[in-house]
Structure 1
Amino acid sequence: MKKKNVLNLIKYHVERNESAFRDEAIEIARRFDAIGDHQLAEYIMGFIAESNLYIPQASEFESDFLKSINVKVVDPLNLPIETTDNIKGVINAVNHKIGITKFLFEGFPGTGKTEAAKHVARLLKRSLFYVDFDNLIDSKLGQTNKNIAQVFSEINKIPYPEKTVVLFDEIDVIALDRINSNDVREMGRVTSAILRELDRLNDLNKDIVIIATTNLYKNFDKALSRRFDAIINFNQYSKEDLVEVAEFYFSSFSKNFKNVSKDARLLKKILNTSNQLPYPGELKNIIKTSLAFSDVNNGYDYLRRLYNNIIGNLEQTSLEQLHILGFTVREIEKLKGEPKSTIARKLNEGNK
């Protein structure tokens, strides 16, 4: 180690430049390793890892099939209590360090599986890599198998596996039931390759956390599902949960719209009137587009659009039907755009 290294360490510490401090420390460790002092080099690198100064980044790990995901900025999770508790259980299991490191998140699209994986990595203070299936799947016979072997080879080469989570997002594309697949032989070979590599991973690398997600658990290969230590079901939203999710998104998005007249009560009534609310992923888009597409000259137009997106056919729904559903005259005015006095008169005439 040279004087320059010492001065740089002091400088970066005073400047609170953690990234530069880390890089300088790594460079010092490499120099000790180069001159044969491997024990000291390992001690320095171990200290950096334990202090959470070193978290592998995409720029430090080159891979054909693994891509880095930034987990410093993630969307808030709006999961049911039971699912949230299971996510906490995943984090606890990893922190116990007893070899429970492979998890399958199953549920319909838009239920929060991928975002939950990001939060798991963030809370564990680990880097997150996802498997790029676009490059993995190959039309050439047998090439996908070779690519799978290459993926796991790259996983085993990741520096500091105890600081890493690997995400197989929508693993359905390569892991559907070998019996029900249209191309039985090829799908069977691909799934068998994954089984084999997961078993090898158990022997070679027990520190890396593996998370897979699937939208099609009913068609998931049963032998593969048994390779995971725990399976978390994300289809546990009650209607009350989904109403709360929608209210959260509305509160978040509406802040950006100056011409929107907020009516939380009517919003909630529309949501509760729906027979079946969509899952959070779709619900988020519905709330966002209802606000974005609304008439800037009509502060309540977003409610009309929300009604049509959630329930449908507002234009064909009569004033009487809306009244029967529990909407007040004032609320019907906001939805229909007719004067309150006109609505009241029509309702009175209809009751005669």
Structure 2
Amino acid sequence: MKKKNVINLIRYYAEKNDPAFREEAYEIARDFDASGDFQLSEYIMALMSSANAFVPQMHEDQMTFFRKIAPSHDSLPLPTPIEKDVIGIINAIQRNMGINKFLFQGAPGTGKTESVRQIARILERDLFCVNFDTIIDSKLGQTQKNIVTLFDKINHFTCPENTIVLFEKMDIMGQVQPAMLKGLDNLKEQITIIATTNHFKHFDKALSHRFDLIVDFNRYTQEDLQEIAESILNNFLDDLKIAGRNPRLFRKILGLNKKLPSPADLRKIIKADVTFSEATIECDYLKNIYKSFVGSAPDDLHKLQTQGFTVREIEILSGISKSQVSRILNGDGQTKNAFKEHQKCHSLNATNLLFHKPKKKINLAEVYRKAEEEIVWR
């Protein structure tokens, strides 16, 4: 630390120039770090971080290019390789060593934005997402000016060490603007930026080289997706207080689908299937899940048997008792016909319930009374 650093600190404090005061303090911390006094450097960093914990990041008039995003408190199951990368990013941010620009790339629904929200929660940081609709302008040269203004606002955040800036779907800008490259190059070390893209193949190489780490979110195996689906299902069953669980049958159903959808789509499908199920019927949600992942209703008992389901599992999926299932599968023609009639009647009853008015109930006592009156009259 030099004399000018002390003078600058006193001057900035007297002028109430908080951003300049903090920047000078960080400069002193970096100087101590470079000279090998790591403990004092970390102590200064910790003081600056705790001192700004309750200071608002920006005022309303500064929110033109941003929208604040709430951190996520939902569980986020990730494959081990991606999870390790995310943990590594958290460690890098906490160490304040200038590794502060990260790019998440992968197909839609693979957990890129959700991971950013989880990082913000774990680090207890405010998360601001750049609103590109306000950045991109059809006027010649205006987009460049907006980008310059954007980075100026980012570099003048009140508490940069308590902030994460998300550039979601960064490829939406199309052609890379020189101002974007310059802004990333001149970004303050205390600012953490995480960008996401769904189209990394078309991502500008000059832009990708500005990031310290690129995390690939396309590393889900079929086994990973099955484990994630099971975790999602258990969470929804817990939320709705549904006791019936049959993880073995659930995994069998998923195994019939050779290419499971993305984690985001899995969440949507399973949520709908559980929500629309009948809570009073044991594992009724599994019928809906079978239909969603196989593409047909579980009403063909022989097909279910061919797919490897046991008699008990077929009973759960079809709603037919084990004894009837056994007789049908063993070739009892009379039971088969009865089962077909049962299905036909069930279908007609459902149709009547939906599209027809219910028929009036016949009062037999009234019928007998009228018949007796007619006989007496005659």
TM over 0.5: yes
Amino acid at match of 1:330: R
CA distance in 1, matches of 2:45, 2:306: 68
The corresponding residue for 1:200 is 186
For residue 261 of structure 2, what is the aligned residue in structure 1?
278
* Secondary structure in structure 1 of the residue aligned to 2:303: helix
AA aligned to 2:132 is: F
| 2:220 aligned to which of 228, 237, 240 | 237
Alpha-carbon distance in structure 1 between the residues aligned to 2:271 and 2:21: 56
AA paired with 2:273? S
Give 1:167's aligned amino acid: L
Amino acid at match of 2:211: F
State the superposition RMSD in angstroms. Answer: 3.2
Deviation digits for residues 6-61 of structure 1 (CA, Å, limit 9, x no counterpart): xxxxxxxxxxxxxxxxxxxxxxxxxx746899989x99x98863326525545646
Q: Secondary structure at the match of 1:282?
A: helix
Indicate the SS of the match to 2:150: helix
Match of 1:151 in 2: 150
Bigger Rg over Cα: 2
* Amino acid of the structure 1 residue aligned with 2:128: F
Does structure 1 residue 68 correspond to structure 2 residue 91?
no
Corresponding residue for residue 124 of structure 1:
123
1:255 aligns with 2:238: yes
Question: 2:82, 2:216 within 8 Å by CA — same for their partners in 1?
Answer: yes
Give the TM-score taking structure 1 as reference length.
Answer: 0.75
- Find the aligned partners of 1:141 and 1:36 in 2 and give their Cα distance: 36
* Secondary structure of residue in 1 paired with 2:218: coil
DSSP 3-state at the match of 1:63: helix
Q: Which moved more, 1:114-123 or 1:272-281?
A: 114-123
Residues 86 and 345 from structure 1, CA distance in 2 versus in 1: closer, same or farther, beyond 3 angstroms?
same
CA–CA distance in structure 2, aligned partners of residues 259 and 112 of structure 1: 27
1:252-291 Cα offsets, whole Å, 9 max, x none, are: 1112335663222211221222211112111111111111
4+ aligned runs moved over 4 Å, structure 1: 32-40, 45-48, 58-61
Taking the aligned partners of 1:36 and 1:53, their CA distance within structure 2 comes to 14
Equivalent residue for 1:8? Answer: none
What CA distance in whole angstroms lies between the structure 1 residues aligned with 2:17 and 2:194?
38
Aligned-partner Cα distance in 2 for 1:122–1:133: 24
Distance 1:148 1:59, change over 3 A: closer
User: Offset of 1:129 from its aligned partner?
Assistant: 1.3
Q: Does the C-alpha gap of structure 1 residues 247 and 324 become closer, same or farther in structure 2, counting only changes over 3 Å?
A: same
CA distance in 1, matches of 2:150, 2:236: 39
Range with bigger deviation, 274-283 or 264-273:
264-273
1:125 offset after TM fit, Å?
A: 3.5
Instruction: Give 3-state SS (helix, strand or coil) of 1:212's partner.
Output: strand
- Asked if 2 retains the 8 angstrom alpha-carbon contact of 1:259 and 1:297, the reply is no
Q: Name structure 1 gaps, 5 residues minimum.
A: 1-31, 175-186
| TM-score in terms of structure 2 length | 0.71
Contact 2:57/2:157 (CA < 8 Å) preserved in 1?
no
Structure-2 separation of matches of 1:246 and 1:36: 52
The size of the alignment, in residue pairs, is 302
Q: 2:251 aligns with which of 264, 268, 271?
A: 268
Q: Match of 1:86?
A: 85
Q: What are structure 2's unaligned runs of at least 5 residues?
A: 1-12, 26-43, 333-378
Contact 2:58 2:158 in 1 (8 A): no
Q: Does 1:169 pair with 2:168?
A: yes
Bigger drift between 207-216 and 131-140 goes to 131-140
C-alpha distance in 2 between matches for 1:85 and 1:223? 26
Distance 1:166 1:159 in 2: 13
With over 3 angstroms needed to count, the CA separation of the structure-2 counterparts of 1:230 and 1:223, relative to structure 1, is same
Find the counterpart in structure 1 of residue 293 from structure 2: 310
